[in-house]
Each structure stands twice: as structure tokens, then as C-alpha cells.
Amino acid sequence: MLVAVGSQNPIKVKAVQTVFSEYFSGIKVISVNVKPSVGLQPMGLRITVKGAVERALTALRKTQADFGVGLEAGLIENLATASGFLNQQVCVIVDKEERATVGISTAFEPPYAVVESLVSNKVREMEEVMESITGIKAIGEKQGAVGFLTRGKIT
């Protein structure tokens, strides 16, 4: 079974490999370079879901895989938080008939400095701010913001 992930991020590819292997044997997971129309840092749930759908469909169509998977993180407005936003992940899986299933993660509030930099357009994506805060280059391809903020408890 061939599964195409609409990302070249090794963390995302490994996550898809791990999850699909729990349900199917003989899995081959490949990464596909996809540039969704939503930009590097989606803002809002609707836009984040759109990015995940675009990633999944593009990966499927470029490869003729059995499944296409799109994973997208976005800032979702939440007035109950100090910063006004939560970071949330969306996963979309499409089959050969392009029927989709959607999953949405729990969310976390990024540090205020991260949100402020994104909302004011000082940076294009969360990884840029997290790299400057942590000193970890390509943090999104390693432990990610959540991994850093939870000291490796959640990745």
C-alpha cells in the first residue's frame, strides 16, 4: 500500500508511517513537495483545514497512491487565551476516490511573543520565531514547538 504525505517534513512523514503501520502491513510512505495556497502559517480553522485538504489531494494526485495525507498547523482564534490564539493541527486523509476524513488535534497556546510576531507579520511562520527563541535550527523538523515547550513530553 502506498501512502503519499503532502510534506517533506521528516517528522510528519514518520508520524504517518507510524500510524498507518498500526492498521496496515506492507506500508510504503513517500513524501511529496506541496505548496498549499494557504501560505506558510495559516490563520483560522477554515484556512488550516483548506491547507490540509490541498496537501492530501495534491500528494494523492501526483503519485497515484492509495491514500494521500495532509497535515497542517494553524493559529486558531480563541478569546479565552492570553494571546488570543491556539495552535492546532489538522490531518486530512483522502482515498483513491478522493473521499476525505478529517481529524483535528488538541490545541496549545504558543508563547505570546510567538503569536505577536505572527499576527503582526514580523515572521512568516511559527518555526522562525521558535528558532530564535530556542536556538534550534529547523525545530519544526525535529521536536517542534510542542516538544520544546513540554520539554519532550509531547512531540
Which domains does the chain show, CATH number per domain? 2-149 (3.90.950.10)
Taking residues 134-148, report their average pLDDT.
83
Higher pLDDT, 50 or 134: 50
- Determine the pLDDT at residue 99: 98
Confidence of residue 143 (pLDDT cuts 50, 70, 90): confident
Taking residues 89-101, report their average pLDDT.
98
Higher pLDDT, 121 or 100: 100
- Determine the pLDDT at residue 122: 86
Q: What is the pLDDT of residues 25-51, one digit of tens each?
A: 999 999 999 999 998 899 999 999 999
| Cα distance between residue 92 and residue 16, in whole Å | 11
Q: Of 46, 75, 52, whose CA–CA distance to 145 is shortest?
A: 75
| Cα distance between residue 83 and residue 112, in whole Å | 5
- Answer whether 34's CB lies under 8 Å from 7's CB: yes
Q: What is the dihedral of CA 155, 35, 84, 152, to 10 degrees?
A: 10
Confidence of residue 129 (pLDDT cuts 50, 70, 90): confident
